[in-house]
Amino acid sequence: MAMETNCVWKEFLSNPVPFCGGFLSGLFGLDVKQDPLRSWLESQGLTVEEKPDHSGGPTPISIE
């Protein structure tokens, strides 16, 4: 447990603004693909990659 705590603090101290932003967006359930968070990230020089949406349920597969 102490090892994970040290890693979290190390990350926080090296990048406090992005760490707090990521933490708060997760806490409030914000989606990085939607404004205003997306436009703020782009103004900071970061890009949000679009990933396929798999929320439609399980993907069918065939086994031969």
DSSP 19-56: HHHHHHHHHHT--TTSTTHHHHHHHTT---------TT
Tell me, what's the pLDDT at 56? 66
Determine the pLDDT at residue 1: 58
Sequence-distant (≥ 6) Cβ neighbours of residue 17 within 8 angstroms: none
The answer to whether 17 and 25 are in contact (CB under 8 A) is: no
Delimit the domains of the chain by residue range. 2-43
What pLDDT, on the 0 to 100 scale, is given for residue 38? 81
* Residue 15, both tokens: 């990048």
Q: Global pTM? A: 0.43
17 three-state secondary structure: helix
pLDDT tens per residue across span 7-64: 877 877 887 777 777 788 888 888 878 888 788 778 877 777 766 665 667 777 778 7
